[in-house]
Chain A
């Protein structure tokens, strides 16, 4: 009880001072210590967490926080990858609203716990969506799927599963990659290494560097692959390059782990965007796939995703499924019901599914149009440099190639918010705001040193 007594007695002294009557007549207690004294249950110790430092702002989510604080009427948020309409508004898909209505008006529905691995129909439909209707792996019942919390949750559960059960506890991730990948895998228990991916000189794929790094990596390691619309660069391998990558990976018995966050959102076609995953599955080998429905169904905040393990046999898939449960249970017990119910409703209804593909294509097309508008605007201003990568890259993001200083300049002078790696979310642009962005880029690129 004597520990920290000096800090505590200081506090008591302060309290005493405040409690003593304001009048000058001396209180009967002339010594401050007799007004208050220690009770055995009085607070004494300092916090158990005194020593904590403030955690660094998340680089991506921190951008929106900064944007929200800005009062400028021309401010532009090109940080987080959430789709916006031409009017700059969030977009809830019509099919999502329809599905929601059906769920609410169905009084036979309840809010009971889902199974640990989530809604079975959701799992089946999700696997079918990424692997294809006629996937041999599904036909042969070699796929086990668990509903997880969007892409992040699927990756984390996959990482913990691999750390527990896979012989090689190392994963190779591309440089650069989504800012959260490294922590997801390292906290999941894997060692993280990198392979070359983006070539800043061409603003395209460093294909030779990638293959070299994969060839010189140890056999059997896990390899993270962005299924399409690489985040943050927007640079994807061509089908021919995918085949080359596949050969190297299979020849070294490496285990592919696909992150599929943009199926349908990249090209506008669900099948085209699944090409890489299906290529690997068709060769009969094993792989993991983390799916997110955040972007392609606009269900960001509902945290809907799925982790699929494509295994060599049905019996392995069954066992793997039981082991996935052991990873999930101590993390959050079972997944949230709302978002996955919406997805299952849409995917399971022919008409809703059709409508969804149309809305998806419209979103993808709008982004592609923004790419072209921005490219034209920079050309019209005669902005120095080659800006073709804006229309060559695919998906929600463009890796502009702008430096950290240029990014800071654009934020300061033009109230344009993006991550410091120069990544801009095309989904945050509209035909009205493209000119402002083009002005900002032009100014950043042409400003003299020291200005």
Chain B
């Protein structure tokens, strides 16, 4: 029916067009092409396991619903927060921005400040200008750039990801066509680090593999190696000539101290490793939607750093040409102003402290309820997430019976826990886990 009416519309609206068609000898070519669809065979895609949780939560009308799914910080009222240092930075740049294209590698000033934060201002590699850095689309974009880079320049090196890891890591390496494997990381029986398994797997991996490491606040488990364990790993990496790729999405957000959260990186740098770091300011500056991150690669020398940077830009150009300017201005404004920087340090520590406080409260509530389970891991783990140990079935019960939303792997976003809902949450966990 629609076909006919469209044909009629076209015929009546221009006889000249019809004449042209006939003149061109288009016998029987319909002016409408509804008969042919190119992608009727496209299947609906599976929902993203993490972001799908929030959509389900939003659709729920229950008054006690709790969202401990996606990893975005909430204050004790359960509301998103825009940091004061960010608001001030925005006021300062408001009306000033020229909106011109950034270079393909983004703002150089921003990159310099970013890597200074990641590596420590006194890092020798920075003084020697050995670090190639480009502004990236938050952590995701930084990891993706590096994956594409590895594919192009070290195709024989395969990637090793911890088990478990942020689910999108697997997608990124897959779409970059980099072969990926996993190494043991989380030990369910202790809800801690499987250090022996980790070392075994990295020893078994071929030399010169690319190893993805979470610099701090491992996502989703919250389980981090100790400094001693990091040192041992650094030694192992030397023996195997492995390449460390640090994903640092929570600097400052984990312990409250930016120069403690980057310890692992500083240990590896001191030991002379040439590493890469994918940084994100999404959580630590609350700039989630701005997509502001940085990819840095430590090179032999300044000349090589220039070369590597040029190749990273060459990958960015056919992906998005150049990164968005607004977020880089915000971060650069904050990091280059000592008052704003001090304010940021305070605000990020406040966020980290609130989360640590919620961990303590959740554990205490569970223990007070008389739970027979061991909940030490809630306070042993660090960062935004707690790997509760809940099974998928228990998670389902949490959602169906208590309207509490989390990812199927039992990961709880502590940022979503408030003094207002921690008892309710503890109660629900107790209900589904008591024997």
Contact = CB atoms under 8 A, between A and B. Distances in A.
Nearest to B3: A284
Contacts of A316: 37, 39-40, 42
A338 B70 CA distance: 21
Contact of B39 (A104, A165, A247): A165
A133 B324 CA distance: 29
B1 interface: no
Given A316-B40, A336-B326, A153 B319 contact: yes
A332 B138 contact: yes
A368 B314 CA distance: 34
Contacts of B350: none
B17 A301 contact: no
Interface stretch (A92-100, A230-238, A358-366): A92-100
13 contacts: A40-B239, A41-B271, A55-B311, A152-B321, A180-B321, A250-B30, A253-B33, A286-B38, A300-B99, A303-B321, A330-B140, A331-B137, A331-B175
Given A41-B235, A319-B43, A329-B168, A92 B97 contact: yes
B26 A247 contact: yes
Contact of A51 (B137, B153, B318): B153
A387 B239 CA distance: 68
Given A180-B317, A332-B291, 13 more contacts: A47-B300, A54-B307, A58-B314, A61-B104, A110-B81, A113-B289, A220-B38, A243-B17, A244-B24, A286-B39, A299-B99, A316-B39, A331-B144
Q: Which of B51, B239, B272, B321 has the most CB of A within 10 A?
A: B321
A36 interface: no
Contacts of A240: 20
Given A247-B26, A318-B44, A322-B44, A58 B317 contact: yes
Given A45-B241, A55-B313, A284-B6, A90 B98 contact: yes
A276 B237 CA distance: 58
Contact of A113 (B44, B70, B95, B137): B70
Contacts of A40: 235, 238-239
B386 to A, nearest CB: 20
B320 A338 contact: no
B2 interface: yes
A166 B36 CA distance: 13
A156 B320 contact: yes
Given A316-B39, A325-B45, A330-B172, A52 B20 contact: no
Interface in B291-322: 291, 297, 299-300, 304, 306-308, 310-311, 313-314, 317-322
Contacts of A82: 100-101
Interface in A336-392: 336-339
Interface residues of A, number: 98
Q: State which size class the interface on B falls in.
A: 35 or more
Q: Which 7 A-B pairs have the closest CB atoms?
A: A43-B272, A337-B289, A285-B33, A332-B137, A330-B171, A301-B325, A312-B37
B157 interface: yes
Contacts of A112: 72, 80, 288-289
A27 interface: no
A251 B101 contact: no
Contacts, number: 293
Given A111-B288, A244-B24, A247-B21, A52 B304 contact: yes
A308 to B, nearest CB: 14
A59 to B, nearest CB: 11
A166 B321 contact: no
Contacts of A92: 97-99
Contacts of A43: 271-274
Contacts of A160: 175
Interface of A: 1, 3, 40-56, 58, 61, 80, 82, 90, 92, 96-97, 100-101, 104, 109-116, 136, 140, 149-150, 152-153, 156, 160, 165-167, 180, 183-184, 187-188, 220, 240, 243-244, 247, 250-251, 253, 255, 282-286, 294, 298-303, 311-313, 316, 318-320, 322-323, 325-327, 329-339
Contacts of B126: none
Interface string B121-144: 000000000000000011011001
Contact of A152 (B21, B40, B287, B320): B320
A55 B141 contact: no
A220 B39 CA distance: 12
Contact of A46 (B231, B271, B300): B300
A336 B101 contact: no
B320 A329 contact: no
Interface string B3-30: 1001000100000010011001010011
